[in-house]
Amino acid sequence: MAPLDFKPNDFSEVPYSVYSDEQIYAQEQKQLFQGDAWHFLAMEIELPNAGDYKTMPVGDTPVIVVRDKNGNINAMVNRCAHRGNLVCIEDHGNLDCLTCVYHNWTYDLQGNLATIAFEKGIQGNGGMAEDFDKSCHSLQRLRVETYCGLAFGTFSDDVPSLTDYFGPEMCGNIQRLLGRDMELLGRFQHGLDGNWKLYMENVRDTYHATLLHSFMTTFRLNRLSMKGAVEVSEGGLHHLTYSIRAQDNDQGQYDAKEIRAQKDDYALKAPELLESWPEFECDTTLAIQSLFPNFSIQQLSNVITLRLIVPKGPNKSELTWWVLGAVEDTPEQRAMRIRQSNLVGPGGYIAMEDGAVVGWVRRGVTGAEDKKSILAMGGRDVERISESRCNELAVRGFWQGWHGLMES
């Protein structure tokens, strides 16, 4: 198929058709979302008790994630083995067993078919065919693994274990941020007016931060000159960008009292919005990580978020944010995190433009399926690491990973 036709080892030009082509969308569902990749399902703290469940999509496939009576998290396709009805209709809840409302087939919390209404018929008449074997009609199960309180699922028997899939560098950042008792401070969910990959490109694009986000530059929150790096995992699948608290002469930029607009003609009316504390020994103040295909973990000062961008057809997607704190936070730290979280979410002072630009690019490339975008900042190859964040290395990495799985 022509749109997958990248030059060997060069992912610096991407045909615009990848954001709208129906066939590519269908191939992604098969090769990525039902293929050899792990997909974020839930935080373990969202399902604290036996019987707690949530429903969510993996790509286009509706999935039930549930904690069973042994404490394990299971995930099953939300599709009754009888005639395909959704078994769970609500977003979340607590149940002893899963019951399909259509004809009352019931499943246990591992997805095994337990009972069928009128299985033996009524007064000796009717009932299921004699050769029908309940044990052959469970809900379709996903493989599930958890790491640092995050549960992931896959339809693949071949994809390596979760930590091997992420690799040690990516696990290091997950452990740093989430390897402690966390609490959920809030959640945002909103639609985006474009293809899910436009958002994942944005997550990996370190070069736009000081250009698109005028809040950042106005209040001097981030400079590409700050010490940091971009790391791309083997094969391009995942990435991590980070920067480190500026020292000495740049120290003031994270001191809320010093926050002033560049031209000194106005300042934040509530500078406490940006009050922060040095949470990590490594002094990292910004870390953006993407885990292929559509999941991201982000630290922006003390705002720690998870993001999942779910495709809703070629031209639409849905973004969910989980905003997190640590159980050990003091009340002041918790309040600081909540105030700072105004930077993220659908109307966030920094995040708003990332959502908007997805729709603007979609509109911009409509009718230009035969043309290509350029990703040549920082060269054309896909190295594993760069100390410059003024580049499109990790975006090229995304396309390398995408291409590898789409062709597999």
Does residue 132 interact with ligand FES by CB under 6 A?
no
**Bridge pairing between strands 39-43 and 13-15:** unpaired
Contact partner at residue 380 from ligand FES, Fe ion, none, CB < 5 to 8 Å by partner kind:
none
- Contact of 290 with 196, CB cutoff 8 Å: no
Residue 100 touches which member of Fe ion, ligand FES, none, C-beta under 5-8 Å by kind? ligand FES
Nearest approach in angstroms of CB 353 to Fe ion is: 6
**Closest separation in Å from C-beta 174 to ligand FES:** 38
Which C-beta is closer to ligand FES: that of 83 or that of 120? Answer: 83
C-alpha 118 chain-centroid distance:
43
Q: Residues interacting with Fe ion, by CB under 5 A?
A: 354
- The Cα 45–Cα 323 span in angstroms is 13
How far CA 123 is from CA of 92, 103, 120, in Å, comes to 38, 18, 9
Q: What per-residue string of b and e applies to 26-46 under the rule 16 or more CB within 10 Å gives b?
A: ebbbebbbbbbbbbbbbbeeb
Q: Which residue lies nearer to ligand FES by CB, 103 or 190? A: 103
Q: Which does 83 bind (CB under 5 to 8 A by kind): ligand FES, Fe ion, none?
A: ligand FES
3-state secondary structure (DSSP) of residue 294: coil
Which has the closest alpha carbon to 201: 377, 63, 323, 70? 377
User: What are the residue ranges of helices labelled H in 179-251?
Assistant: 196-204, 209-212, 214-218
Q: Is 361 helix (H, G, I), strand (E, B) or coil?
A: helix
- Options 36, 44, 82, 372; binder of ligand FES; rule CB under 6 A: 82
Question: From the list Fe ion, ligand FES, none, which binds 103 (C-beta under 5 to 8 Å, kind-based)?
Answer: ligand FES
Residue that has been written with the tokens 């740093």 in this structure? 176
What is the torsional sign of CA 297, 299, 304, 305?
negative
Cβ-based burial of 60 (10 A; exposed 0-12, middle 13-18, buried ≥19): middle
Cα 302 to Cα 204: distance, rounded to the nearest angstrom: 20
Q: Does 64 bind ligand FES (CB under 6 A)?
A: no
Q: How far is the CB of 153 from Fe ion (least distance, A)?
A: 28
* Start-end of H helices in 307-351: 331-340
Write down the least CB distance from residue 78 to ligand FES, Å.
11
Q: How far is the CB of 95 from ligand FES (least distance, A)?
A: 15
Nearer residue to ligand FES within complex by CB, 101 or 327: 101
Stretch that binds ligand FES, among 36-44, 76-84, 140-148, 247-255 (CB under 6 A): 76-84
Nearest to 398 by CA among 214, 189, 265, 235: 235
The one of Fe ion, ligand FES, none whose footprint includes residue 354, by CB under 5 to 8 A per kind, is Fe ion
Nearer to Fe ion among residue 354 and residue 392 (C-beta): 354
Question: Among residue numbers 89 through 108, which ones bind ligand FES (CB under 6 A)?
Answer: 100, 102-103, 105
- Residue closer to ligand FES (CB basis): 69 or 103: 103
Q: Distance between CA atoms of 315 and 155, rounded to whole angstroms?
A: 25
Per CB under 6 A, 85 contacts ligand FES: yes
Site membership for ligand FES, residue 363 (CB under 6 A):
no
83 binds ligand FES (CB under 6 A): yes
Q: Which residues form the interface with ligand FES (CB under 6 A)?
A: 80, 82-83, 85, 100, 102-103, 105
